[in-house]
């Protein structure tokens, strides 16, 4: 995680794997469902940027499932970038690059990443503060090409409430560790996406109470 935050161990579970590879059981569980949802919304071709790629398990699946897109994984954490690079090397896909270092909450990164057909953000908004989440959304909107899409996957509150006991417990454990972080409310995040000029596709319900949101930059 970002060096600035101490999170409960349940926030970002990844075990050591072969060589530099890390293995996140959650990424293994949800990769196929997210990939399927992304394929419905992703433009056929162009550059695709993943923010907070984690272990690299997702981006390898996405690059294989969407071969017309050129995928760039990014991560703040060096050990995770090494893991991504190990998965990327093993996959040997022509449309998948090595990991790039990116703190997505820093202002200004969109200037170097302009023209993205697709930007993907999975399981980060609940682990950062609201101002940081808004900054990522603003930077992503700036980095999209006209007609480009920004897909966000993760757990959300609905009308300010967690939708399961497990979500309520996890959210409480996050805010106990750091009162600035925790689950964001769906309507609030939708408002932030609209504020930066993105139009919204219908929200999709995903396994384990997660949601899949897509914002589109007008063409
Ligand atoms: C819960 S993990 C999710 C990883 C991956 N997207 C997945 O779903 O398997 C959160 C990830 O966000 C990364 N991260 C935390 N703060 C970040 C930041 N400010 N910019 C970019 N990545 C960040 C962490 O290093 C970690 O890999």
Residue 3 belongs to some domain of the structure: no
**Ligand 1 lining (C-beta closer than 6 Å):** 1-2, 12, 24, 27, 51-54, 58, 75-77, 80, 102-105, 122-124, 127
Looking at the structure of the chain, the number of domains it has is: 1
Q: Measuring from atom 2 of ligand 1, which residue has the nearest CA?
A: 12
Query: Does 122 map to a domain?
Result: yes
Atom of ligand 1 nearest to the CA of 105: 19
**Is 1 a member of any domain?**
no
> Rounded to whole angstroms, how far apart are CA atoms 9 and 202?
33
214 and 149 Cβ atoms separated by less than 8 Å: yes
Please compute Rg for the chain using Cα positions: 16
Q: What angle do CA 42, 123, 73 make, to 5 degrees?
A: 55
Q: pLDDT tens digits for 84-100?
A: 999 999 999 999 999 99
In a domain, 2, yes or no: no
CATH number of the domain enclosing 126: 3.40.50.150
Q: Which residue, judged by its Cα, is nearest atom 12 of ligand 1?
A: 52
Where residue 67 falls among pLDDT bands split at 50, 70, 90? Answer: very high
- Asked whether the predicted pLDDT for residue 68 surpasses 90, the reply is yes
Instruction: Give the distance, in angstroms, between the CA of residue 16 and the centroid of all CA atoms in the same chain.
Output: 21
pLDDT of residue 13: 84
Band of the pLDDT at 218, cuts 50, 70, 90?
Answer: very high
pLDDT band at 173 (very low <50, low <70, confident <90, very high): very high
According to the model, what pLDDT value does residue 4 have? 59
DSSP 151: E
Q: SS3 for 66?
A: coil
- Supply the residue whose CA is at minimum distance from atom 5 of ligand 1: 54
- Cα of 77 from ligand 1 centre, angstroms: 8
Percent of the chain with pLDDT over 90: 91
Q: How far is the CA of 104 from the centre of ligand 1 (A)?
A: 9
26: CB partners within 8 A, 6+ apart? 13, 123
The arithmetic mean of pLDDT across residues 148-162, rounded, is: 98
Ligand 1 atom closest to 57 (CA): 9
Residue 4: inside a domain, yes or no?
no
Residues of the domain holding 134: 9-216
Residue with CA closest to ligand 1 atom 10? 124
Q: Is 41 within a domain?
A: yes
């Amino acid at each position: 995680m970002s060096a600035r935050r101490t999170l409960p161990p349940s926030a970002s579970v990844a075990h050591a794997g072969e060589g530099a590879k890390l293995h996140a059981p959650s990424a293994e569980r949800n990769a196929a469902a997210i990939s399927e949802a992304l394929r419905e919304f992703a433009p056929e071709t162009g550059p695709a940027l993943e923010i907070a790629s984690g272990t690299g398990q997702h981006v390898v699946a996405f690059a294989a499932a969407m071969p017309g897109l050129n995928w760039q994984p990014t991560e703040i954490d060096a050990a995770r970038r090494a893991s991504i690079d190990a998965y990327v090397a093993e996959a040997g896909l022509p449309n998948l690059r090595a990991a790039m270092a990116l703190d997505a909450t820093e202002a200004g990164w969109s200037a170097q990443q302009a023209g993205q057909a697709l930007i993907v953000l999975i399981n980060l908004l609940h682990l950062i503060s609201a101002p940081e989440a808004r900054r990522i959304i603003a930077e992503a909107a700036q980095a999209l090409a006209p007609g480009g899409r920004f897909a966000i996957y993760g757990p959300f509150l609905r009308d300010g409430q967690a939708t399961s006991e497990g979500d309520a417990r996890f959210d409480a454990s996050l805010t106990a560790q750091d009162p600035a972080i925790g689950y964001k409310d769906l309507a609030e995040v939708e408002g932030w996406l609209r504020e930066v000029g993105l139009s919204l596709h219908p929200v999709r319900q995903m396994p384990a109470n997660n949601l899949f949101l897509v914002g589109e930059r007008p063409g």
